[in-house]
Structure 1
């Protein structure tokens, strides 16, 4: 995780309703929240929506923040939960759209993954490969997906990821191992060119 100024000093002012302290927290952390959300949802609009939701929750729930984790760990936790909830909601909408299309031929809308995938944390020439990798990551179970995104894409250590996910370091290592095996199965030879140990 990139080093950042001590954000804990902003917590009390935000609790007291300081807009400038909240703005400082937002400016210092918005890009990592956005990038994490984007790793789950793949479109700028959806990631921006999740980012807004995350900071609304932070502002509303800052009083309940106990300081048992760092503020960035807490932010990652909220972002992961919001992203997973967003995906579940989207799946429900897709199922509903499919179901209604069985009865109403006039709704011929095709729901698909966007082809204009762009992740700011990945070099331009690797975007096409990244789109394929992220599409495969989507197929992983939620916990494997989260462990992989936090460590391999966001660059958190296994210890930091364990803190975000509220599991042991051993559990993160096990999830990563299973995620890596599943990705290798899905991507075969293509995987070797993408994965950085």
Structure 2
């Protein structure tokens, strides 16, 4: 009878270990999928930028530095695709977002540009894409948090250590973005 109890316990532990391992695999794949969603939105934004720059060029001939900076950052982000860490990619992406805000601010100085339908459509598309990037970042961080909880908590952490699962890093807001803007009247 004792042998059967020991055998049953061993079987239960093995079944639990397999279930825990499969759960970790599932969560790890969700982390990859969440990052893939960010990557898709970054690519969508990269595809829209040349059209925006060409539209602005016709109106803002004196703003070549700004346009050049946006194109350089876009190209850097495109070149990094697949080779950089999520943190490195998001750092360049945040810089590109700031440069795009500068282009949108240019429209205030150029009323004809501000009234251009193509510019307005591109601006709306890029704004929607930026919102999707923000949502995708939230989804990524939420998924990473769930995965990390499994990797860190007992008893699943035992399986994680044996199988070589490592914690993933959350995407964080850059220090510069945390600063409170000064408002002057």
Instruction: Report the TM-score, using the length of structure 1 for normalisation.
Output: 0.31
TM-score, length of structure 2 as denominator length: 0.33
Q: Greater RCO between the two (CA within 8 Å, min separation 6)? A: 2
